[in-house]
């Protein structure tokens, strides 16, 4: 990797683009978007900034290569909050032992730098392009893309998602991403009757009722693990070759004082489903079971779901998957595998709302601490991702 890519990534990390919530301004979102826009323009892209929210504009760059097909490159410049416990300053990038440390180094500013570097090398080498390129970089992927791709797909700008294939940068480097799991969060509110702990017979203990319901959810989650895809492999993992369902109780909250029996409790859970399963049908199944649990346990509770990220999968015989697999195999055969991501990606919007095959090969090594302290990007990984992008987009990668 030349100094160009490293310099770009270091400059991108310096922008404090921590996504806390839509209620809190993205501190340097506009500055970061302007930086990316200017870099795209220096590479000959026609650019624009689209804003549902002014503090986190969507960067769009278009390069007409007179090709027959268009590839849409998708990524994001917002990052999760840095948190405490870093051994380096999270927004003052440093390079040590062949690694670039800083918040967003791998998720996903490293992907932005790799893409820009790939385009620079293609243009410097005057290589013919296989695709016209449309680059879309959002500022709220970490929040659900309500001002990003989700908004683009449902707004007057939805024509920007017209193309032939989408390339997702925000994915693992362990294999070729050909889909993602459905992801949804559910919440159960348990109602009881608050009172003094010395008189439990006068109360209805919401905490204890929540524990009983949580036990039912845990049993449900164990059964979910038996739902295994017959069509789609998972990204490399120690459990199963094929992608499977996962269900986890993640939040259990109730009570304020030891001598007060709580009158309310909250349970939250996260549910991940394989691409073949219809979320609406599975939701109805869980709702039916939930009503049965309430009757059996004699509890007063309600169940609600957040809006899901719908899963999808692209078959391995798809021509774009084959092309990307050939590219990766030529550079590192050990990574020329196909897998559905355990998490959700923006590929969900491109697949379900734009009808595009959404695939990718990204910059996230398993040990790179994305979303954790001391997040880093290996220089050699960024080089590999840059080379994959360059060969996928160029006419003749051989």
330's tokens: 């030529």
CA 292 to centroid of chain Cα atoms:
34
Buried b (16+ CB within 10 A) or exposed e, 317-342: ebebbebbbebbeebeeebbbbbbbb
Q: Kind and range of the H or E element at 195?
A: strand 195-196
Residues 371, 373, 375: CA angle, nearest 5 degrees: 70
- Which residues are within 8 A (CB) of 47 and not within 5 positions of it... i.e. 6 or more apart? 37, 40, 41, 59, 60, 61, 62
Using DSSP's 3-state secondary structure scheme, residue 357 falls into: coil
Peptide bond into 108 cis (omega under 30): yes
91's tokens: 């927004």
> Which residues participate in catalysis according to the annotation?
78, 141
CA 150 vs CA 58, 170, 293, 308: distances in Å: 11, 16, 35, 12
Q: Parallel, antiparallel, or unpaired: how do β-strands 131-138 and 69-76 relate?
A: parallel
């Amino acid at each position: 990797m030349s100094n160009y890519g490293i310099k770009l990534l270091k400059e991108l990390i310096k922008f404090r683009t921590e996504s806390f919530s839509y209620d809190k301004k993205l501190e340097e979102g506009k500055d970061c978007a302007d930086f990316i826009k200017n870099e795209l323009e220096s590479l000959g892209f026609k650019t624009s900034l689209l804003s549902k929210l002014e503090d986190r504009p969507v960067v769009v760059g278009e390069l007409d290569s007179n090709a027959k097909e268009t590839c849409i490159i998708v990524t994001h410049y917002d990052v999760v909050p840095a948190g405490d416990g870093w051994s380096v300053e999270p927004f003052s990038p440093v390079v040590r032992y062949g690694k670039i440390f800083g918040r967003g180094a791998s998720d996903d500013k490293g992907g932005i730098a790799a893409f820009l570097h790939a385009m620079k090398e293609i243009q410097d080498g005057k290589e013919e392009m296989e695709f016209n390129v449309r680059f879309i970089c959002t500022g709220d992927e970490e929040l659900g893309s309500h001002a990003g791709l989700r908004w683009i797909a449902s707004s007057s700008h939805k024509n920007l998602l017209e193309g032939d294939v989408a390339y997702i940068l925000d994915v693992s480097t362990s294999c070729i991403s050909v889909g993602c799991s459905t992801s949804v969060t559910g919440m159960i509110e348990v109602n009881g009757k608050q009172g003094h702990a010395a008189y439990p017979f006068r109360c209805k203990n919401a905490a204890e009722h929540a524990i009983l319901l949580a036990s039912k959810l845990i049993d449900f989650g164990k059964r979910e693990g038996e739902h295994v895809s017959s069509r789609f492999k998972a990204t490399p993992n120690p459990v199963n070759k094929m992608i499977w369902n996962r269900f986890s109780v993640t939040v259990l909250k109730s009570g304020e004082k030891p001598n007060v029996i709580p009158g309310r409790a909250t349970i939250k859970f996260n549910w991940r489903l394989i691409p073949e399963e219809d979320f609406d049908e599975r939701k109805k199944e869980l709702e039916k079971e939930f009503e049965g649990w309430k009757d059996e346990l004699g509890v007063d509770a309600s169940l609600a779901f957040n809006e899901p990220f719908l899963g999808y999968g692209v078959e391995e015989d798809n021509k774009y998957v084959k092309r990307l697999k050939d590219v990766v195999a030529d550079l590192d055969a050990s990574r020329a595998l196909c897998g559905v991501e355990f998490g959700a990606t923006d590929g969900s919007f491109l697949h379900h709302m734009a009808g595009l095959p959404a695939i990718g090969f990204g910059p996230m090594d398993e040990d790179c601490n994305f979303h954790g302290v001391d997040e880093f990007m290996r220089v050699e990984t960024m080089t590999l991702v840059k080379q994959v992008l360059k060969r996928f987009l160029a006419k003749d990668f051989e």
